[in-house]
Amino acid sequence: MKDEDTYPDVTLRLMMEVANTTSFPELEDHEYGERLASKARSAVALLREHTAPYESLIGERERLDVEHAACAQQAEVQHRFSDELTELQAEFFHLYGIPDDRAHERGHRFEPFLHRLFDLFDVEPRLSYSLEYEQIDGAFTFDTDDYVVEAEWQKKKVSRAEADAFDKKVERKGRNALGLIVSVKGFSPDAIGQYSQGTTFMTMDGPDLMAVLSGQIRLEDVLRRKKRYANETGACHFPVSQF
C-alpha cells in the first residue's frame, strides 16, 4: 500500500488474474475444503464485479500498444528507406559528373548502383554474370517474372544494333523471360521504332531513374506500368513522363 502508485499495473494485473480464477484445488483438499472453496468463489465473484470495467480497458490499451509499436517500426523502416534512397540519388549525381572520356569507369560502377536500387525495392536482383557466349549485366525477379538487365551509360544513346543484340539475348532465355534496358542517355529513334509493335524488353532512361530516386514514383509502379504498356501496345518505350 505504501508504494501503491509505483505498482498499479502489477496490482491490477494480479487482481484480474485472481478474478478469473475458477477452481481452488488447494482449498478443496483442506479438511473444511467445501466451505473454504465456497467462500473463495464468493470472494472472487465480488472481486470480478470490481475488475470487470478494467478488463476491456486493459485489452484496449494492449491493442493500442501493439498498434503504436507497429507504427513506430513502420516509421523506422520508412526512415531507413528514405535515407538509402537519398544516398543513391547522391551517388547517381556523382556518376553523372564523371566525364564521357571515362565512360567505361562510369559504366562499370553503374551496374552495382542498379543492383542496390533494385535491392532497395525488393525485386530480388542478381549481379552481373557470364554465360558461355555472353555477358549478362544483371537480372531480377518481379511479380513472378524473371528479367534480364542491360545497363548502359555510354556517350551516345542505345542504337538499334545494340537493341537487336539485347533482344536476341532475351530470346535465348526461358520462355517467360523479359528484358529491361536501362540507358541513362536514352535510346535512338530507330531503336524505339523497331520495337514499337513487338518487343521482348522494356526501356528505362535517365529521367525515369530520377523519378524513382527523387521519390516521385516507386520502382514497382514503373515496372508494372511499362510491362502493361508493352503487353497492350507491343512498344518497348514508355517514359515515366507519359504515365
Alpha carbon distance 12, 51 (integer Å): 8
Q: pLDDT at residue 180 above 70?
A: yes
CA distances from 135 to 104, 127, 165 (A): 15, 11, 12
**CATH of 103-242 given 3.40.1350.10, 1.20.1440.230, 3.30.830.10, 3.40.50.150:** 3.40.1350.10
pLDDT at residue 120, rounded to an integer: 94
DSSP 50-105: HHHHHHHHHHHHHHHHHHHHHHHHHHHHHHHHHHHHHHHHHHHHHHHTS-GGGHHH
What pLDDT was estimated at residue 192?
95
Judged against a pLDDT cut of 70, whether residue 129 lies above it is answered with no
Mean pLDDT over 28-56 rounds to 87
Instruction: With CA atoms as reference, report the closest residue to 180 among 206, 151, 159.
Output: 151
* φ and ψ at residue 22, rounded to 5 degrees: -120, -15
Distance CA 122, CA 7 (A): 46
Looking at residue 232, its pLDDT comes to 94
**Cα separation, 2 vs 178, whole angstroms:** 73
Q: Which residue has the higher pLDDT, 235 or 56?
A: 235
pLDDT of residue 215: 93
Residue 196's pLDDT band (boundaries 50, 70, 90)?
A: very high
Q: Supply 229's cell numbers.
A: 504498356
pLDDT tops 90 at residue 22: no
**pLDDT tens, residue by residue, 62-78:** 889 899 999 999 899 88
Mean of pLDDT values over 159-180: 89
Average pLDDT over residues 29-53: 88
- State the chain's mean pLDDT as an integer: 89
Retrieve residue 170's grid coordinates: 532475351
Give the model confidence (pLDDT) of 78-117 as tens digits.
899 999 999 999 999 999 999 888 888 888 899 899 999 9
What does each C-alpha distance from 103 to 127, 153, 187 come to in angstroms? 20, 7, 17
- Residue 132 pLDDT exceeds 60: no
- Taking the C-alpha atoms of residue 72 and residue 89, their distance in angstroms, rounded to an integer, is 26
Q: And the C-alpha cell for 132?
A: 558461355
By CB atoms closer than 10 A (0-12, 13-18, 19+), residue 122 is: exposed
When pLDDT is averaged across residues 148-164 and rounded to a whole number, the result is: 93
Ordered by start, the domain boundaries in the chain are 1-97, 103-242
Residues 6 or more apart whose Cβ sits within 8 Å of residue 36: 24, 27, 28, 30
**Average pLDDT, integer, range 178-187:** 94
Question: pTM for the complete prediction?
Answer: 0.69
Mean pLDDT of the 172-193 span: 90
Please determine, for residue 154, whether its predicted confidence score (pLDDT) is greater than 90: no
> Rounded to whole angstroms, how far apart are CA atoms 111 and 115?
6
